[in-house]
Copies of this chain bind each other. A is one copy, B any other.
Amino acid sequence: MYTLYEMALSGNCYKCRLALQQLGIPYERVAVDVSGGEQYRAPFRQMNLNSKVPVLKISETEALPESNAILFFLAERSRLMPQASLARAQVMQWLFFEQYSHEPYIATVRFWKKFTANPDAYRADIARCMPKGEKALAVMNEHLGQHIFFVDNQYSIADIALYAYTHVAEEGGYQLSRYPAVQAWLRRVEQTPGFVPITA
């Protein structure tokens, strides 16, 4: 059985749980003491030299880091990944958009505002990041004005990856009411079979 090494309220970890649940794959959860620095020490670091959660332990000797690589591993040959070559690459397009243009601005601001003792200490970082987070939400809103789901109007791991931090973006101070097509898409994701919330 797979084991997910994670931090429960991390969107990157939640992505993996949502895909595992929707694909009906049994797994166990292990909480990593991130605030205590467990990720920088053995044995965690032997699973991921880059010292980040989540990691999916696949066997005694095999472990896979990077949330979106875990999504790809779980879904490559499933209904959560399209069949056609270009559509598969478009799923990857949105996964890379999520990690490069979205997560560094939406997840980080949420982290500073919700999970640190003194968010004011991050005021300059928050000011630097929020315009880029707004841009990411605007790109999503424009795309979702024309599409039910991100790729081929079919629910995929692209939707799972982007749902994870978008649906909690308001915890970082983003106003999702400015992005109505994003809000409508969030509700569609929540109605997919086997959906579980981040708190599950």
Q: Which residues of A contact B (CB under 8 A)?
A: 49-50, 52, 58, 62, 64-70, 72-73, 76-77, 85-86, 88-90, 92-93, 95-97, 99-101, 103-104, 139, 142-143
Contacts and interface: CB of A to CB of B under 8 A. Distances in A.
A101 B139 contact: no
Given A67-B96, A99-B100, 19 more contacts: A52-B101, A64-B89, A64-B90, A65-B97, A66-B93, A66-B96, A68-B96, A69-B89, A69-B92, A72-B88, A72-B89, A73-B89, A73-B92, A76-B85, A76-B88, A77-B85, A95-B96, A96-B99, A99-B99
A50 B89 contact: no
**How many of these chains are in the complex?**
2
Contacts of A50: 97, 101, 139
A58 B86 contact: yes
Given A86-B73, A99-B99, A66 B49 contact: no
Contact of A86 (B62, B67, B90, B101): B62
A119 B86 CA distance: 39
A9 B97 CA distance: 21
Question: Which of A72, A95, A100 neighbours the largest number of chain B CB atoms within 10 Å of its CB?
Answer: A100
Contact of A69 (B49, B64, B96, B101): B96
Contacts of A100: 66, 99-100, 103-104
Question: Which of A67, A70, A85, A93 neighbours the largest number of chain B CB atoms within 10 Å of its CB?
Answer: A93
A104 B99 CA distance: 11
B86 A69 contact: no
Given A58-B86, A66-B97, A104-B104, A142 B72 contact: no
A159 to B, nearest CB: 16
